[in-house]
Amino acid sequence: MTDQVPAAASRLKVRVFGRTDVGQIREHNEDNFLVADLSRKTRSLMEGDREQVVGERGTLLGVCDGMGGAAAGEVASQLAVDIIYEKLVQGEPPIDHDDLARRLVQAVEEAGMRIFNEARADRTRRGMGTTSTIAALMDSRLFVAQVGDSRAYVLRGDKFTQVSRDQSLVNQLIEAGQLTEEEAETFEHNNIILQALGTAETVQVDLTFVDLCKGDRLLVCSDGLSGMVRGDEMREVLLSTRDSLEACKELTDRANRAGGHDNITVIVAEFDGDGLREPEPGNLISYQKYALPEAPVDTTVRAAAVTQKASDQPALPASDEASRESRRLRVGHTMVGTANPMAGALPSTPPAAHRVSGPPPTFTLDNEPVSIPTSGLPPSVVGIMVLGAMLFVALAGYLLVR
């Protein structure tokens, strides 16, 4: 799948804005987002950075939704955006699509490992983690690397399509046929995600791609938006509001009016320029996985999946994804599942999980496993031996006194 970047990509333009809001319920904001021009090595929303000409290193857009309570979730999401940015500005510019895609995946994996080590080193941050949905491009091919359930959508014409797939319990149960769309709307465990950066040493990054056309718009958001605002409402906002700043404001306002149960973070980007072709009738967007070739020996090996491998799952038609994302899932406290929910029938209680909002879990010495050596003899035999030893000592003392 290796192909060189077309020269026309040098005139690809991105108009972008991002916004984050604490919502109506939470006391502090654990979300973070990233808007970066990798060629100029800048990351900001200053007016000069809101319209970028994509350079040889590319453009990076991402949302990270932290979890873990207190300051831990905020720390995890901030670490994620910082590490991913730092990794992608290092070294020489990518030479082709495979190079960019591999660097993106490795940056996300590196962030997950470093957050995990940070949590392990500091007891007050045990259990912290973050979702990560990161989009990168250096020409018309947009890559999306995902861990968790923050989402990426693309609007082309009047068609609004989810191009990421939620790594959540409810989504996996639907795909396995154990839960219907109707049951999912009231499913009590729809706040459980199957993996997040920092909750395990390795993660399985879901890598997808979209070949952009002129006028396409990208929306990346945390579940504070997608859980409160229906897909058709998000589509309506993007169609009626051309300015990215105003679109971000309207989307966060709608999530707050719907209850604002979680932190709300959204990025809206519009793509234009001579480096993009005009959209053609029938050229629809769908969820498409990107298959990387075998990595060279000296690069990081992809981590093993903690759940069913994404590559083993059939790609769903775009229509299924579009209908699925229209569910109104009321977001509360996200949790990370540590057990595979597909191991048996639909569980009546949630799988073992980390709490991911409110106070972080308290860890004491009682939580640490203690290994007590034993002789392996039955307790009754040990008791007789102890009693015999005591009688022997008593008799020896009596004889010495005499």
Least confident of 65-69, 98-102, 270-274, 307-311: 307-311
Place of tokens 């909002």: 357
pTM metric for this prediction: 0.75
Q: Could you write out the DSSP letters of every residue in 261-298?
A: -S-EEEEEEEEEETTSBPP-TT------B--PPPPPTT
Domain 7-360 is classified in which CATH homologous superfamily? PPM-type phosphatase domain (3.60.40.10)
Percent with pLDDT over 90 in the chain:
58
pLDDT at 366: 41
Please provide the DSSP assignment of 135-178 as one string. EEESSSEEEEEEESS-EEEEEETTEEEE-S---BHHHHHHHTTS
Q: Where are the domains of the chain?
A: 7-360, 367-401
Q: How confident is the model at residue 56, as a pLDDT?
A: 94
User: Would you state the pLDDT for residue 281?
Assistant: 84
CA dihedral 328, 326, 175, 194 (to 10 degrees): -50
Distance CA 273, CA 10 (A): 9
**CA–CA distance, 16 with 14 (Å, rounded to integer):** 6
How confident is the model over 252-309, as pLDDT tens digits?
Answer: 999 999 999 999 999 999 999 998 999 988 888 999 999 998 765 444 434 333 333 3
Quick one: which H or E segment has residue 132? strand 132-137
Three-state secondary-structure class, residue 193: strand
Whole-number mean pLDDT of the chain? 81
pLDDT digits (tens, 9 = 90+) for 158-169: 999 999 999 999
Can you tell me the mean pLDDT for 239-249? 96
- State the Cα–Cα distance between residues 337 and 256, nearest whole angstrom: 27
Which among 44, 59, 66, 109 is positioned nearest to 89, based on CA atoms?
A: 59
pLDDT of residue 334: 66
CA 189 from centroid of its chain's CA atoms: 18
Residues 6 or more apart whose Cβ sits within 8 Å of residue 210? 141, 142, 144, 154, 163, 216, 285, 288
The answer to whether residues 197 and 111 touch, using CB atoms and an 8 Å cutoff, is yes
| Residue pLDDT, tens place only, 187-206 | 888 778 999 999 999 999 99
Phi, psi of 312 (to 5 degrees): -85, -10
Taking residues 370-381, report their average pLDDT.
Answer: 49
